[in-house]
Amino acid sequence: MISVNNLKFSYQKEKSFHFPDIKLSDGEDLLIIGESGVGKTTLLHLMAGILKPERGSIVFDSVDITEIGKQSLDQFRGKNVGVVFQKSFFIRSLTVMENLLLVQNLAKVKQDKQRVESVLDQLGILDKRKNKPYSLSQGEQQRVSIAMAVLNKPKVLLADEPTASLDDKNCLKVLSLLKEEASLEKAHLVMITHDQRVKAHFKNQMEL
Amino acid sequence: MNIFKLSVKNIVDRPLNTFLSLLLLALGVGLISLVLHISTIVEEQFEKNIKGIDMVTGAKGSPLQLILSSVLHIDDPTGNIELVEAKKLMQHPLVKKAIPLSYGDSHKGYRIVGTERSYLDLYEAKVAKGKIWEKSFEVTVGASVAKVLELDIGDHFFSTHGLVSVETAPGHEEHPFTVVGVLEPTNSVIDQLILTSLESVWEVHDHGNEHQESDDEHEKEEHMPHDDHEMHEEEHNHRYEEDKEITALLVKFRSPLGTIQIPRQINENTNMQAAVPSYEISRLFNLLGIGVETLKVLALAIILVSGISVFISLYNSLKERVYEMALMRTFGASKWQVFTLVVNEGLILSFLGFVFGTLGCYMALAILSHLSNNSFVFSFLDIINSKDTFFLFLLTIGVGVFSSIIPAFKALRVNISKTLGES
């Protein structure tokens, strides 16, 4: 269960965002649609605990992440939040497998090669585990990003415009991968986008 | 996978930068360590060799040359002094012990020294094999000499003039020396010497002079060498006290008063010269000190540059890696973990630089020791245990920390939201 209440965030005095409340019951996904500059990414970063709101609460099950200290917020984020960014980022010096093992290590989850392999297998990129991620194709890179986001079985899978730069065919592919992974790992999928193509695929939608 | 392993992977991932940083660090550490250890080894060696000698008396000339030739045996003698004069000095009430030395010839670069048994006591030398010389032309050789020249008891050899090891050097080919003993290693100058009685040296030279004067005559007489030898013996006995010369006299005084009074008396009132080893050696080190200091400063500069190289390497790589830092933070890394990641990289580089530098220094010392026929002895443990090495270690690690601290703080301050949101 996720609930966001009375959330406000300001970059400077002039530029502040008020966000509508969000309430997701178990098993529910959410699509947040909005044009550029309305604070979509800000909302996503707030929910990921990367930014701290001026006021309001973000509650995962019974934990309000706006009230956790910085150190434990890092850990909470590692264990409970998975993020897929618009662009794929990796640790350049590590292989796909090592990147994923590091993700487990950083969240203080026991390193488990079998778990990594099964996630890679789900996403159809098990044979790339020994490659350096930046040597893979865009599509493969995105799958690795998704693997990293779902690896620690997060409560919520946040996706920031994952389909923006994809053609129709690949857009659908990524969309179904995200939905599949989210339901497989029992995570809420919260996607922000300005991409109208994905509208049809979400029951729960919110306009910013 | 963990932060430490990631640090290592990151270092390996930029091989050229890493190579440059390691090369500079190892060069700086190796050079400074080499300078420190060589000067320590040489100083210790010198101090050990001059221990127990308050004054050296020899022929007039350079006092430093007298010390270098009579105590350390790395220079030519200043000349000879009369034994009678030396004996007078030996009777002086302030003189506790006096050891006469007569030298000038060598065998394959190792000096042959005619002396008395008390010379062995000075360096606490013990016989490892055989015995101490007794008769003329019997020699007891130092440990290094025996090892390098593969001399054993019963071997014969001829001496040559001077300290040259060239085979064609003019020699004394009619009087072979016989090895009767080998000394235990003392790690002092005695390891490099061939010791014999004063008489042996005198006889070689008396014979040599005669030989030169009457070369043809000698050849004719060669069928009766026995008589020839006897004739010389008689002659020696006649001339023993009056004409005999020695090259130097090592003196130990009963009290420090001797060191103050006697060298001056000798230098002013006799045609001999007196030199104080400790004074001459410290004068020598003062001269060498400038060179040592210059090398130290140079090596420190190299270490400093290596620190800058580590800094630039980390700082540049961080420009690309802010995304990695932000990514790691998103996946649960704390600020201090990314800080540690960068500092680790600096520490690993400086630690490896130190290890390679120290190994390089050890290898250079080993080669130098080998090239100089083991004339200085050191052990790897001594290098590891020395205070210099410890300080050098701290210095290198310090350089590693300082060069990585700014990039590390940059990594710590990465704004995750801005870095990942703006891309």
pLDDT digits (tens, 9 = 90+) for B386-415: 788 888 999 999 999 999 999 999 998 888
The pLDDT assigned to B380 comes to 63
Question: Mean pLDDT, to the nearest integer, of A28-45?
Answer: 88
- Adjacency order of strands within the sheet including A30-33: A81-84, A156-160, A188-193, A30-33, A205-207
Q: Which of A42, A51, A87 sits opposite B423 (nearest CB)?
A: A87
Please count the CA atoms within 13 angstroms of the CA of A174 that sit on its side-chain side: 28
- Does B223 score more than 50 pLDDT? no
The whole-angstrom distance between B329's CA and the closest CA on chain A is 7
Closest by Cα among A18, A16, A29 to A205 = A29
Choose the closest CB to B332 out of A92, A106, A111. Answer: A106
Q: How confident is the model at residue B140 (pLDDT cuts 50, 70, 90)?
A: very high
User: Dihedral of CA A160/A162/A168/A169: which sign?
Assistant: negative
**CA–CA separation, B174 and B178 (whole Å):** 13
CA distance linking residue A165 with residue B164, whole number of Å: 84
User: Under an 8 A CB cutoff, do B2 and A105 touch?
Assistant: yes
Would you say the C-alpha torsion B412, B416, B420, B421 has a positive or negative sign? negative
Chain A residues with CB-CB distance to B under 8 A? Answer: 41-42, 45, 48, 50-51, 70-71, 74-75, 77-79, 83, 85-87, 89-94, 98, 101-108, 111, 148
**A86:B6 CB<8 A:** no
pLDDT at A173 over 60: yes
Q: Do B1 and A94 touch (CB under 8 A)?
A: yes
Best to test chain B binding among A47, A93, A94, A101 (most B CBs inside 10 Å): A93
Chain B residues with beta carbon closer than 8 angstroms to that of A106: 328, 331-333, 337
Find how far residue A84's CA is from the centre of its chain: 4
Structure tokens at B63: 């006092």
Contact A92 B320 (CB under 8 A): yes
Specify the pLDDT at position B277.
92
Q: Which residues of B touch A (CB under 8 A)?
A: 1-3, 6, 9-10, 12-13, 320-321, 323-324, 326-335, 337, 416-417, 420-421, 423
Amino acid B377: pLDDT: 59
User: Smallest Cα–Cα separation from B3: which of B349, B328, B311?
Assistant: B328
DSSP B330-349: HTT--HHHHHHHHHHHHHHH
Residue B131: is its pLDDT beyond 80? Answer: yes
Question: How many Å lie between the alpha carbon of A73 and the closest alpha carbon of chain B?
Answer: 8
The percentage of chain B sitting over the pLDDT mark of 90, rounded to a whole number, equals 35
Flag the least confident range among A172-181, B41-50, B410-419. Answer: B41-50
**Mean pLDDT confidence for B29-39:** 87
Model pTM?
0.76
Beta-bridged to residue A17, according to DSSP, are A9
CA-to-CA distance for A89 and A168, rounded, in angstroms? 23
CA distance A183 to B244: 110
Average pLDDT over residues B265-272: 89
**For chain A, where are the E strands, in sequence order?**
2-10, 16-19, 22-24, 30-33, 55-60, 63-64, 81-84, 156-160, 188-193, 205-207
Task: Check whether A44 has a pLDDT greater than 80.
Answer: yes
Helices (H) and strands (E) in chain B, counts: 15, 12
All residues of chain A having their beta carbon less than 8 Å from the beta carbon of residue B13 are 92-93
Using a CB-CB cut-off of 8 Å, the residues of chain B touching A83 are 330
Residue A163 CA to residue B419 CA, distance in Å, equals: 20
Q: Specify the pLDDT at position B417.
A: 87
Q: What is the dihedral of CA B335, B336, B338, B342, to 10 degrees?
A: 140
* Residue percentage of chain A with pLDDT more than 90: 44
Least confident of B274-278, B290-294, B346-350: B290-294
- Confidence (pLDDT) at A145: 93
Tens of pLDDT, residue by residue over B292-313, are: 888 889 988 998 998 998 899 8
Given an 8 Å threshold on Cβ–Cβ distance, is A85 in contact with B420? yes
Q: Is the dihedral of CA A161, A167, A171, A174 positive or negative?
A: negative
End-to-end CA distance of chain A: 21
- Dihedral sign for Cα atoms in the order B235, B241, B243, B244: positive
Residue of A78, A93, A94 lying closest to B331 (CB–CB):
A78
Bridge partners (DSSP) of residue B178 are B138, B156
Residues of chain B positioned with their CB less than 8 A from the CB of A79:
332
> Is the Cβ pair B1, A78 closer than 8 Å?
no
Residues of chain A contacting B335 with CB distance shorter than 8 Å: 70, 74
Q: What is the pLDDT of residue B398?
A: 93
Euclidean distance between CA atoms B285 and A142, whole angstroms: 69
pLDDT at A81: 93
* pLDDT for residue A13: 72
pLDDT digits (tens, 9 = 90+) for B106-122: 888 889 999 999 999 99
The predicted pLDDT at position B222 comes to 43
Predicted pLDDT at B291: 85
- Distance (Å, whole) CA B335 – CA A203: 38
Q: Looking at the complex, report in whole angstroms how far the Cα of residue A41 sits from the nearest Cα belonging to chain B.
A: 7
Q: What is the mean pLDDT of residues A111-119?
A: 93
pLDDT per position as a tens digit, B146-184: 988 898 999 998 888 876 655 555 666 677 899 999 999
Q: What ipTM was reported for this prediction?
A: 0.92
